[in-house]
Amino acid sequence: MSEVKTNILNEMKKVGKPVRPGDIAKALSIDGKEVSKAIKELKEEGKVISPKRCFYAPGE
Protein backbone atom coordinates (compact mmCIF):
# COMPACT_ATOMS: atom_id res chain seq x y z
CA MET A 1 0.00 0.00 0.00
CA SER A 2 1.29 3.46 -0.88
CA GLU A 3 2.35 5.97 1.75
CA VAL A 4 -0.53 8.28 0.77
CA LYS A 5 -3.11 5.53 1.32
CA THR A 6 -1.53 4.61 4.65
CA ASN A 7 -1.60 8.25 5.78
CA ILE A 8 -5.24 8.62 4.72
CA LEU A 9 -6.29 5.48 6.61
CA ASN A 10 -4.36 6.58 9.71
CA GLU A 11 -5.99 10.03 9.58
CA MET A 12 -9.47 8.46 9.29
CA LYS A 13 -8.75 6.25 12.30
CA LYS A 14 -7.43 9.24 14.26
CA VAL A 15 -10.56 11.32 13.57
CA GLY A 16 -12.77 8.42 14.65
CA LYS A 17 -15.84 9.36 12.59
CA PRO A 18 -16.74 9.48 8.89
CA VAL A 19 -14.86 12.29 7.13
CA ARG A 20 -14.95 14.03 3.76
CA PRO A 21 -12.00 13.80 1.36
CA GLY A 22 -11.51 17.58 1.58
CA ASP A 23 -11.05 17.40 5.35
CA ILE A 24 -8.41 14.69 4.97
CA ALA A 25 -6.63 16.68 2.25
CA LYS A 26 -6.54 19.73 4.51
CA ALA A 27 -5.31 17.73 7.53
CA LEU A 28 -2.54 16.03 5.54
CA SER A 29 -1.72 19.07 3.34
CA ILE A 30 -2.09 17.14 0.09
CA ASP A 31 -4.16 17.70 -3.04
CA GLY A 32 -7.86 16.82 -2.80
CA LYS A 33 -7.79 14.96 -6.13
CA GLU A 34 -5.00 12.73 -4.83
CA VAL A 35 -7.06 11.98 -1.70
CA SER A 36 -10.18 11.18 -3.73
CA LYS A 37 -8.23 8.84 -6.02
CA ALA A 38 -6.65 7.03 -3.05
CA ILE A 39 -10.03 6.72 -1.28
CA LYS A 40 -11.55 5.23 -4.42
CA GLU A 41 -8.77 2.63 -4.53
CA LEU A 42 -9.08 1.91 -0.80
CA LYS A 43 -12.83 1.46 -1.23
CA GLU A 44 -12.28 -1.06 -4.04
CA GLU A 45 -9.84 -2.92 -1.77
CA GLY A 46 -12.45 -3.02 1.01
CA LYS A 47 -10.35 -0.94 3.41
CA VAL A 48 -12.71 2.05 3.40
CA ILE A 49 -16.50 2.26 3.57
CA SER A 50 -18.91 5.07 2.84
CA PRO A 51 -21.55 5.15 5.59
CA LYS A 52 -23.23 8.16 3.95
CA ARG A 53 -22.78 10.05 0.70
CA CYS A 54 -19.40 11.81 0.38
CA PHE A 55 -18.22 10.63 3.81
CA TYR A 56 -15.71 7.84 4.34
CA ALA A 57 -14.51 5.75 7.25
CA PRO A 58 -12.11 2.83 7.74
CA GLY A 59 -13.80 -0.47 6.89
CA GLU A 60 -12.91 -2.47 10.00
Instruction: Encode pLDDT of 5-29 as tens digits.
Output: 999 999 999 999 999 999 999 999 9
Exposed/middle/buried for residue 2 (C-beta within 10 Å: 0-12, 13-18, 19+): exposed
For position 58, what pLDDT does the model report? 95
Domain count, the chain: 1
Determine, yes or no, domain membership for 23.
yes
CATH number at residue 21: 1.10.10
Query: Could you tell me if residue 60 is inside a domain?
Result: no
33 inside domain:
yes
What pLDDT is attached to residue 41? 97
Q: Which domain holds residue 46?
A: 3-55
The residue count of the chain comes to 60
Q: Report yes or no on 49 lying in a domain.
A: yes
| Whole-structure pTM value | 0.90
Specify the DSSP class assigned to residue 16: -
Is there a domain that residue 10 lies in?
yes
pLDDT(50) > 80: yes
Are the CB atoms for 13 and 21 separated by under 8 Å? no
- What is the reported pLDDT for 1? 85
List strand residue ranges (DSSP E) for 1-60, in order. Answer: 48-52, 55-58
